[in-house]
Structure 1
Amino acid sequence: MSTDASRAEGAAARRVGHATTAYVVLVVAVGLGLTATAVRVDGIVLDASFGVMVLLAVLTWWLGSVEVDNDRVQLSFASIILLASMALLGPAGAGVIGIIVGPLQRGQLPLKARFFNTGMSAILGVSGAAIYLAAGGPRDAEGVVGTWEIVRQIGIPILVADLAQALVNLVLIAGVVRLSQGVPMRTQMGRLLGTSGPAYLGYGVIAFIMVVLWEPAGLGPASVVLVLPPLVVAQWAYRQYAEEVTGHERALEVLVAAVEAKAPHLIGHSARVAQLCAHMAEHLGLRPQVVADIRTGGMLHDLGLTALPTALVRGSGIGGVGALRHYPARGADLLVDLSFLSGSLDAIRHHRDAVTPGISTGDSLGLPALVVGLADEYDLLTEVGTPDGIRLSHDEALAVLRTTPAGREDLLRTLEQALTRRASVAAG
């Protein structure tokens, strides 16, 4: 890649970093400000209920969260604690619990992300509790009796507050992802609705049960003993699924390693193409499963090279003619019996057609093939280079790509957005 292009990407990454930092500072300031205001207006009672919620916040850190499918789906108890706190502790207490639970996440997490989570959790706690009270929720539910009264005075307000919290969470996360990674808010919000949305409803039901057992049923903190074990079991089951997904990912990495052993000049190429493919697919607003399929297609697009003689693979450019022309189809054929890869096969089979000038089937190529072909060819031109070691600049590569079926202006703009996002991610 040319020096000018690298400098432009670096400058763009710095602008992204500054904008993200400003957004995080704003979220933290709003969260702490709302909590301080709630404490000043209502005060805070440091009783047994508050102490138990603090212990649950620490327990959330100890149990950790389960992440599946590249962090798109997450199971954690933090949202349940916040929802229960808003009914049991009020705005001030829920805000303080949010400040405690926000940064308590296991594993390596950037300090900026912990600050953002702290501010966001405080906002969710205070706003959720205020909406709960505005929807008719009682500050003290011990006197609520009868099924209908419990549903009306506790269940419905918790549901309203739950939906409001989910919406605020959606907007805040989509905003930071838009600034830090360039993903359109519409795309990110759609992804979160499809993954975290149903989970939020489940969190609300569990929080409702905890509150009812705690106050109307009179069990107090002992209600945690009844609610917590099923949650731990559910998290364990979810973790098994996460490990299965991780196993699939490791299997893909083994296949990529086989390609790189056959063609050492392609080391790192598949990972870069997969990352660009995922970024492009997200910028295009595609569904999460389609994004995952395109990313996998980018990761495995060169698998067919393993079916060719080593001397042929190492001695010629992979975009050449003859036997090399058919390697994409061979790669797709090798994977056809793996059902979890079925959505990626078309992109693998036709990614070279997408960047072959003058090909007559250009109009019939699917979007996944166009995205994978574009990302693949760009990386070949700018990073891998020709067998003679010649690499094109960013602008030179775009000029070449414009002569191909994948070289549509909308896709090229998406590619440039993905490159800027990649630079910002690399810059931290």
Structure 2
Amino acid sequence: MRRLPNDTDLSFNAIVQLAALVLAGPVAALVVAASPALFALRNRRLITQVFNVAMMAVVTLVAGTSYYVFGGAWGQGQGSSSTLILLHVAVPLMLANSAQCLANAALLAGVISLDQKVPYREVIVGILRSGGVAYVGYGIFGLLLAVLWDGAEIGALSAVLVLAPLFVARWAFAQYAEEHAAHDRTVAALVRAVEAKDFYTRGHSERVAKASVLIARVVGLSQQRTSTLHFAGMLHDVGKLAVPTRVLQKTGALSDEEFAAIARHPVRGLEMVREMEFLGEAFKGILHHHERLDGRGYPMGLSGTSIPEFARIISVADAFDSMTSTRSYRQARDVEQALVELDRCVGTQFDPTYVDALHTALERTAWQPTTTVDPVAAVVEGVDELDHDDPRAPIRRQVATPHRGVG
């Protein structure tokens, strides 16, 4: 099985398994289904392999039982006329394939829901949405392989006719997957560079990206836009690479000049990543994540819905993580206190839609306040002066920095 971006799988095993169910019965289908997991025993933990084999056995049993219940025949009992093939192979196989898809999604969603503390319904809907279409394809190709193998009496040649084009498709998808992985590595490298320079932000980018995705799922953003939003959350502070280290790590109140240097980081961030075309809509989130609904933010002083959606989402996630992270100069707020503060700033700083969405998301998903380990242990005055992401920080008027627009 080859995993592709956005949780899409291209599985030759599933196709052969369905064909085996028609040609040789459920036992043969079970052998085909379990073989990849058995061959990988040395590469994974035993408990993982036991689970995988058990899950394969269950979903294959569901498929085999369904195929039989819906009138399916295997081996020589299929018949040769088109009507018999339709009634005793095609229809039962597609229904069995659907039952197998549902069983697979139900079991997998249960494990993910328990492990990641995510609502079961949300997980299973996501699995079916991303993998349901692929399962339909498996059924069609499995049927084609079985009919050509037996009905057309061309045997193993049918595997070449059916699977060869899929190998080409898999190769093309693999190139796309590798490109996507390269994007992930590039973003991760930039984040590590920022966190090496500003120890207060270690883990901050990942948490902002995570909270942004939680909000996106509640408000119903598409999978593609959610993926792009994740990049924006990861890179929202990349412009801090252009801020002097002494300013980022200063243990006292910032002067107007120093604050201005920090306030330029959204523009500097856009300048750094604007040639990375795959970021697309993320550019707007990076540039405008410090805008406020009342127009008193920076760098452009945008207000209301003129602020891009990604920026309004990241603004909420950014402030929330700042408040729930322990710094050397103050303790983290608990989640409830942070949400109260976000509610207080609704309509002036934050969009109520996305604050409400964060409330909903956190009812479904646990969030632990974070302790940031840094070398500065001093407790300093002027906390709000230091933490520009905290909603309590005084507003300082900023002059928009000239920059090229983002599409």
Q: What TM bracket, shorter-length normalisation?
A: 0.7 to 0.9
Superposition pairs of residues 20-35 of structure 1, within 5 angstroms: none
Q: CA deviation at 1:212?
A: 1.4
Residue identity opposite 2:280 in structure 1: S
- Counterpart for residue 3 of structure 2: 67
Q: Does 1:403 align with 2:344?
A: yes
Q: CA deviation at 1:115?
A: 3.6
Q: CA deviation at 1:245?
A: 0.6
- Counterpart for residue 203 of structure 1: 138
Deviations 1:131-175 (A, max 9, x none): 223333223347632445434432232222222222322333233
Deviations 1:174-230 (A, max 9, x none): 333223223334433443344322221221122112211332233445644554444
Q: Contact 2:339–2:359 (CA<8 Å) still a contact in 1?
A: yes
- Counterpart for residue 283 of structure 2: 345
Q: Contact 1:258–1:306 (CA<8 Å) still a contact in 2?
A: yes
Q: CA deviation at 1:256?
A: 1.6
- Counterpart for residue 31 of structure 1: none
DSSP-derived class of the 1:353 partner: coil
Q: CA deviation at 1:116?
A: 3.6
- Counterpart for residue 374 of structure 2: none
Q: Contact 1:270–1:298 (CA<8 Å) still a contact in 2?
A: yes
Distance 1:141 1:207, change over 3 A: farther
Distance 1:115 1:324, change over 3 A: same
Residue identity opposite 1:289 in structure 2: Q
Distance 1:329 1:137, change over 3 A: same
Distance 1:111 1:225, change over 3 A: same
Q: How many pairs align?
A: 356
Q: Distance in 1 between matches of 2:119 and 2:219?
A: 9
Q: Does 1:307 align with 2:248?
A: no
Q: Which runs of 5+ in 1 are unaligned?
A: 1-64, 424-428
Q: Distance in 2 between matches of 1:304 and 1:288?
A: 26
> What is the alpha-carbon root mean square deviation over aligned residues?
3.7
- Counterpart for residue 173 of structure 2: 238
- Counterpart for residue 361 of structure 2: 414
Q: Distance in 1 between matches of 2:83 and 2:292?
A: 61
- Counterpart for residue 269 of structure 1: 204
Identity %: 32
Residue identity opposite 1:198 in structure 2: V
- Counterpart for residue 404 of structure 2: none
Q: Does 1:374 align with 2:316?
A: yes
Q: CA deviation at 1:73?
A: 1.7
Residue identity opposite 2:283 in structure 1: L
Given candidates 46, 62, 65, the residue that maps to 1:127 is 62
DSSP-derived class of the 1:67 partner: strand
Residue identity opposite 2:2 in structure 1: V
- Counterpart for residue 10 of structure 1: none
Superposition pairs of residues 70-149 of structure 1, within 5 angstroms: 72-95=7-30, 97-101=32-36, 111-141=46-76, 144-147=79-82, 149=84
Q: Distance in 2 between matches of 1:379 and 1:268?
A: 10
Q: Distance in 2 between matches of 1:305 and 1:102?
A: 45
Q: Contact 1:332–1:348 (CA<8 Å) still a contact in 2?
A: yes
- Counterpart for residue 391 of structure 2: none
Distance 1:285 1:96, change over 3 A: farther
Q: Does 1:289 align with 2:227?
A: no
DSSP-derived class of the 1:215 partner: helix
Q: Does 1:164 align with 2:99?
A: yes
Q: CA deviation at 1:280?
A: 4.5
Residue identity opposite 1:414 in structure 2: A
- Counterpart for residue 154 of structure 1: 89
What is the TM-score with the length of structure 1 in the denominator? 0.69
Q: Contact 2:213–2:230 (CA<8 Å) still a contact in 1?
A: yes
Residue identity opposite 2:3 in structure 1: E
Q: Distance in 2 between matches of 1:104 and 1:420?
A: 38
Q: Which runs of 5+ in 2 are unaligned?
A: 371-407
Distance 1:102 1:127, change over 3 A: farther
Q: Distance in 2 between matches of 1:404 and 1:111?
A: 50
Q: Contact 1:128–1:164 (CA<8 Å) still a contact in 2?
A: yes
Q: CA deviation at 1:341?
A: 1.0
Distance 1:185 1:215, change over 3 A: same
Distance 1:283 1:83, change over 3 A: farther
DSSP-derived class of the 2:344 partner: coil
What is the TM-score with the length of structure 2 in the denominator? 0.73
Q: Contact 1:174–1:185 (CA<8 Å) still a contact in 2?
A: yes
Residue identity opposite 2:177 in structure 1: A
Q: CA deviation at 1:301?
A: 0.7
Bigger drift between 91-100 and 254-263 goes to 91-100
Distance 1:163 1:139, change over 3 A: same
Deviations 1:353-377 (A, max 9, x none): 3699987936665654344233322
Distance 1:106 1:371, change over 3 A: farther
Residue identity opposite 2:278 in structure 1: F
Q: CA deviation at 1:110?
A: 5.5
DSSP-derived class of the 1:402 partner: helix
Q: Does 1:328 align with 2:240?
A: no
Q: CA deviation at 1:291?
A: 2.2
Distance 1:68 1:143, change over 3 A: closer
DSSP-derived class of the 2:3 partner: strand
Q: Contact 1:95–1:124 (CA<8 Å) still a contact in 2?
A: no
Q: Contact 1:162–1:201 (CA<8 Å) still a contact in 2?
A: yes
